[in-house]
């Protein structure tokens, strides 16, 4: 990157909350995330120069657009703050981060506030599933289909099965690890839920199949949540670190990024990757781009990964796409315990989307906040020992928009 | 003496607390024996545990039996968890049987919410008493993670430490240690508020008072709806116990209203007696359902829709502020409003702050303990969250004006201009709920 972009910290709301039951408007979520972020970082409202909001579908879930403007309401010093809102389905939060970091790299601003937010529990699961279908090519892939996304990511599993073979018990292990990790995360949605590998392997009333090979235990959650982070230029970060009494060297920074977009339709993506060892080559390329920009050779330079696991199949894909194994051999990393908490390269110490929750537009920001907490040693009970470099992968649609960050501390 | 708990025996595993607690142990992967009067009843408890955890896989850790199996099962148990009826004689009979066969290092715990821990183990062997303590889960324990840990004077420190490690770690509990005082901490502070509101219902009517002291005052469920949910019999047992065995500034607030006793005698126990009801009752189903409310004076019910609940405008202002996340503004509205309804709200809410934080030193060690049990056990705004949102100095002024005791910790916070709530991993905002009724 031409000019380092620092991450001063941030705040995540408790993903177990149901803001509809609390009687709250989406602006309350934004307010809590902003107030929490300012309090957690010690950045004052008057120091923030620009605000970016990542959100997927507030127009559908909450009958509310123009979310950037709600930032202005959150602090008296925000009057006149330039703001905007970014959308790329489940990658919306990462797109907001990319926009903010580009502005800092370009020298336009020294201090940017990024908020990812989604309020999803306003509607029943069937209606919500239909809304999520707009992250695919709605008319071609989702219209009139109950729960289209589990079916699309079931097809991702089927494609792995066709090319390399895939055992469902490996997917069950991914689920069990994410749930187990979530128990260490005090803001994870499922931290009090019951899950075990035996349960995830089983079927029946409590673990019904909802889309091909995808069962309930393979799915991420319907989540209400908001997350904020502060990005800063080297000059701002240096002054901030001095007044906080911390070393700039131990402040997190975005060391690299990757951003690629594949065709929207899942079948088009798979057809385009015929003959390629990687099922989603654009996702692989986004990861390689981030490695190259961060100046690292491969995944073994990382201490942890926060990946998109909207379904267990997406994490299965991430394992070989990050290069933990050769293409098609993700099961080896699963069987060897590489991805476990305490393993050689832990994936989703936070619990990921399956365990921590998946408020769609907030997920990319949540991943970068968790990476920041890890590399600065502030992840509490889910801290990876001596983590200095953590990567994130945030995916919009059925592997369509792929965003990767490498965060160093 | 760190040791793994490899086997738990639950006594009374057919009941709500027994099966729910058993689900927590088995859910953590600890082999758990569900015992009840008959194996069939224990099997019903197991079915309930599966339903609570939404998994049949958990049953791999559950076996069942009748009380005939008690001696055999307890003989090699590491932890015996008692959840039988809340009657001293019954519990003592079980403890006698456990005492005769337990391993020398087996821990024995009771889930009792009201009886004295020391009294329960009177007459048992020295070894038993050293290994005995209270683990008070709240219902349903798989959802409510707050729990009270209650040693008596004779509990061995190592036993206390071991149980705390189990609760904190594998069981994922938020543990609050309390002294062996009546109803411990959560129920003492919580039922003071609930019964006070029940007393006020006689003059102001249940519909009005429950709407006034509704979710916007810092709780998921309004007070009288909570008593209906808990059951009037349980409510009576708790407040009678507190009225008989405490003598503090809130003594009068623990007197069960006479109208409640009359209705209990007539079989009105809240939601568990659906045909009779409690403060509220729903007649009919689906579209034809009619929500009714009690008239305490006559014991009769009338449609809630026919009862005019005239809430003053400041309540709507509180709800509007909470809806957009401005919790401080909501507290300003409560503190600054004029008139009898505002006085009433402040009396109850500030009374809760005062009574809760005044238990520091008597029931618990720190303000943080009261906050944790009210937040994690009751899902109410912890007293310190309210003090911070109101402002410590203003809280002191309002408490003095209302003639309520000012807790030492609030005075200190006011003097030093500090925030009281000390739980960085907990969102304060979740405790402020906009009432749908007033919205």
Cβ–Cβ contact B143 with A under 8 A: yes
**Within a domain: residue B292?**
no
Domain boundary among B127, B155, B177: B177
Last residue of a domain, one of B126, B159, B177: B177
Residue in chain B lying closest to A186 (CA): B425
Q: Which CATH class is domain A5-123+222-244?
A: alpha beta
Q: How far apart are CA B184 and CA B18, in angstroms?
A: 19
Q: Is the pLDDT of residue B11 over 90?
A: yes
The list of chain A residues with pLDDT below 70 reads: 1
The domain in which residue B150 lies consists of: 8-177
Domain count, chain B: 2
Please tell me the distance in Å from A246's CA to the nearest CA on chain B. Answer: 20
pLDDT of residue B3: 66
Q: Chain B: nearest CA to A82, how far in angstroms? A: 21
What H or E segment, with its residue span, contains residue B110? strand B107-110
B395 shares a domain with B335: yes
Query: Would you say B173 and B147 are in contact if contact means Cβ atoms under 8 Å apart?
Result: yes
Residue B115 inside a domain? The answer is: yes
Identify whether B294 is part of a domain. no
Mean pLDDT throughout B197-205?
97
Mutate to test the interface with B, among A193, A194, A217, A373 (most CBs of B within 10 A): A194
Which DSSP string corresponds to B130-158? HTEEEEEE-SSTTT--EEEEEE-TT--HH
Minimal Cβ distance to B55: which of A23, A27, A194: A194
| CA nearest to B115, candidates B98, B94, B134, B96 | B134
* B289 within domain boundaries: no
Is B94 in the same domain as B37?
A: yes
Same domain, B255 and B366: yes
Looking at the predicted complex, does its ipTM rise above 0.90? Answer: yes
For residue B206, is it within any domain? yes
DSSP state, A384? P
Q: How far is the first Cα of chain A from the last one, in angstroms, to the nearest whole number?
A: 16
- Residue A111 neighbours by CB under 8 Å, 6+ apart: A43, A47, A48, A49, A50, A230, A231, A232, A233, A236
* B214, B107: one domain: no
List the structure tokens of B326: 């401005």
Using a pLDDT cut of 90, give the percent of chain B over it.
Answer: 95
> Residue A3's pLDDT is what?
87
Of B53, B142, B427, the CB nearest to A32: B427
Residues B372-391: pLDDT tens digits?
A: 999 999 999 999 999 999 99
Q: Do B58 and A202 touch (CB under 8 A)?
A: no
Q: What is the CATH number of the domain that holds B387?
A: 1.10.1040.50
* CB burial of residue A102 (10 Å; 0-12, 13-18, 19+): middle
DSSP symbols for A232-273: E-HHHHHHHHHHHT--GGGSEEEEEEEEEE--SSHHHHHHHT
Which A positions 339-358 lie with beta carbon below 8 A of chain B?
Answer: none
Domain ranges in chain A?
5-123+222-244
Q: What is the pLDDT of residues A150-180, one digit of tens each?
A: 999 999 999 999 999 999 999 999 999 999 9
Q: Are residues B198 and B169 in the same domain?
A: no
- What residues in B contact A215, CB-CB < 8 Å? none
> ∠ CA B408-B412-B416 to the nearest 5 degrees?
175
Contact flag A23-B319 (C-beta cutoff 8 Å): yes
B273 domain-assigned: no
Residue B195 shares a structural domain with residue B316:
yes
Could you tell me which residues are beta bridge partners of residue B65?
Answer: B35
Does residue A404 sit at the B interface (CB-CB below 8 Å)?
A: no
Q: What's the pLDDT at B196?
A: 98
Residues B162 and B217 in one domain: no
CA terminus-to-terminus distance, chain B: 55
Q: How confident is the model over B30-48, as pLDDT tens digits? A: 999 999 999 999 999 999 9
Does a structural domain hold residue B223? yes
User: From CA B313, how far away is CA B435, in angstroms rounded?
Assistant: 14
Whether residues B247 and B108 share a domain: the answer is no
DSSP H helices in B28-149: 39-53, 70-74, 88-101, 117-120, 126-130
Which helix (H) or strand (E) element contains residue B410?
helix B408-416
- Domain of B166, CATH number, reads 3.40.50.720
B109 in a structural domain: yes
Q: What is the rounded distance in angstroms from the CA atom of residue A353 to the CA atom of residue A174?
A: 12
Phi, psi of A408 (to 5 degrees): -120, 150
Of A28, A195, A380, Cβ closest to residue B323: A28
Note whether B219 and B193 are within 8 A (CB): no
Contact A206 B29 (CB under 8 A): no
Report the pLDDT value the prediction gives residue B436, as an integer from 0 to 100: 65
- Shortest distance, CA A16 to any CA of chain B (angstroms): 10
> How close, in Å, is residue A9 to chain B by CA atoms?
15
Residues B208 and B244 in one domain: yes
Nearest to A206 among B54, B425, B439 (CB): B54
Question: Mean pLDDT in chain A?
Answer: 97
Q: What pLDDT is stored for residue B435 in this prediction?
A: 83
pLDDT of residue B70: 98
Q: Give the pLDDT band (50/70/90) at residue B309.
A: confident
Residue ending a domain, among B130, B156, B177, is B177
């Amino acid at each position: 990157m031409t000019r380092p972009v620092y991450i001063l910290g941030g705040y995540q709301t408790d993903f177990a909350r149901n803001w509809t039951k609390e009687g709250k408007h989406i602006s309350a979520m934004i307010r809590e995330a902003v107030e929490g972020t300012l309090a957690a970082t010690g950045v004052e409202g008057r120091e923030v120069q620009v605000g970016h909001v990542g959100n997927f579908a507030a127009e559908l879930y909450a009958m509310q657009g123009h979310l950037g403007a709600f930032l202005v309401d959150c602090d008296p010093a925000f009057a006149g703050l330039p703001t905007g809102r970014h959308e790329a389905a489940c990658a919306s939060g990462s797109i907001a981060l990319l926009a903010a970091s580009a502005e800092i790299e370009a020298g336009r601003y020294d201090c940017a506030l990024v908020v990812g937010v989604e309020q999803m529990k306003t509607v029943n699961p069937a209606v919500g599933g239909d809304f999520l279908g707009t992250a695919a090519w709605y008319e071609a892939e989702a219209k009139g289909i109950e729960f289209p996304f589990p079916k699309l990511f079931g097809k991702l599993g089927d494609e792995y099965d066709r090319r390399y073979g895939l055992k469902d018990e490996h997917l069950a292990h991914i689920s069990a690890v994410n749930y187990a990790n979530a128990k260490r995360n005090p803001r994870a949605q499922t931290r009090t839920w019951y899950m075990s590998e035996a349960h995830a392997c089983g079927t029946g009333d409590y673990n019904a199949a909802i889309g091909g090979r995808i069962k309930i235990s393979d799915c991420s959650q319907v989540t209400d949540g908001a997350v904020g982070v502060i990005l800063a230029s080297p000059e701002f970060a240096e002054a901030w670190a001095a007044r906080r009494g911390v070393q700039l060297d131990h402040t997190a920074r975005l060391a690299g990024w990757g951003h690629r977009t594949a065709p929207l339709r899942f079948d088009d993506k798979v057809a385009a990757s015929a003959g390629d060892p990687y099922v989603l080559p654009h996702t692989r390329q986004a990861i390689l781009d981030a490695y190259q920009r961060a100046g690292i050779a491969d995944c073994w330079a990382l201490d942890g990964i926060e990946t998109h696991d909207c379904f267990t199949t997406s994490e299965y894909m991430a394992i070989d796409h990050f290069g933990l194994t050769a293409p098609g051999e993700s099961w080896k990393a699963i069987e060897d315990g590489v991805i476990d908490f305490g393993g050689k390269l832990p994936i989703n110490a936070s619990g990921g989307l399956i365990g921590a929750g998946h408020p769609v537009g907030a997920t990319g920001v949540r991943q970068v906040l968790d990476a920041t907490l890890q590399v600065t040693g502030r992840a509490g009970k889910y801290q990876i020992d001596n983590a200095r470099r953590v990567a994130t992968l945030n995916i919009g649609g059925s592997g369509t928009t792929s965003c990767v960050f490498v965060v160093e501390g | 003496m760190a040791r793994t708990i490899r086997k738990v025996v639950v006594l009374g595993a057919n009941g709500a607390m027994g099966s729910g607690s058993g689900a927590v142990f088995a859910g953590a992967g600890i082999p758990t024996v569900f015992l009840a009067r008959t194996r069939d009843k224990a099997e019903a408890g197991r079915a309930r545990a599966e339903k609570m955890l939404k998994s049949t896989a958990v049953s791999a850790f559950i076996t069942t039996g009748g009380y005939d199996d008690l001696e055999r099962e307890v003989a090699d148990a590491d932890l015996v968890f008692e959840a039988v009826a809340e009657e001293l004689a019954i519990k003592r009979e079980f403890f006698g049987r456990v005492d005769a066969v337990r391993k020398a290092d087996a821990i024995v715990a009771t889930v009792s919410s009201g009886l004295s821990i020391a009294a329960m183990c009177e007459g048992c062997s020295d070894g038993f008493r050293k290994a005995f303590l209270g683990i008070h889960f709240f219902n349903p324990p798989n959802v409510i993670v707050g729990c009270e840990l209650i040693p008596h004077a004779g509990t061995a420190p190592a036993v206390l430490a071991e149980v705390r490690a189990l609760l904190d770690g594998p069981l994922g509990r938020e543990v609050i240690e309390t002294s062996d005082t009546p109803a411990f901490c959560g129920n003492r502070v919580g039922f003071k508020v609930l019964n006070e509101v029940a007393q006020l219902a006689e003059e102001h009517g249940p519909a009005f008072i429950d709407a006034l002291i509704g979710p916007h005052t810092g709780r998921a469920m309004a007070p009288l709806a909570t008593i209906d949910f808990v059951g009037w019999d349980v409510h009576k047992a708790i407040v009678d116990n507190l009225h008989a065995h405490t003598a503090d500034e809130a003594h009068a607030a623990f007197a069960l209203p006479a109208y409640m006793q009359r209705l209990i005698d007539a079989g009105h126990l809240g939601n568990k007696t659906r045909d009779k009801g409690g403060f509220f009752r729903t007649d009919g189903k689906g579209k034809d359902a009619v929500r009714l409310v009690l008239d305490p004076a006559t014991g009769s019910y009338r449609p809630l829709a026919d009862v005019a609940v005239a809430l003053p405008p400041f309540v709507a202002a509180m709800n509007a502020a909470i809806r957009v996340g401005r919790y401080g503004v909501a507290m300003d509205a409560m503190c600054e409003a004029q008139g009898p309804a505002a006085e009433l709200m402040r009396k109850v809410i500030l009374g809760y702050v005062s009574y809760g934080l005044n238990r520091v030193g008597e029931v618990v060690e720190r303000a943080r303990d009261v906050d944790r049990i009210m937040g994690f056990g009751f899902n109410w705004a912890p007293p310190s969250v309210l003090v911070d949102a109101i402002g410590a100095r203003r809280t002191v002024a309002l408490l003095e004006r209302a003639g309520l005791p000012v807790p030492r910790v609030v005075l200190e916070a006011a003097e030093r201009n500090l925030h009281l709530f000390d739980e960085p991993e907990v969102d304060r905002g979740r405790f402020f709920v906009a009432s749908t009724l007033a919205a």
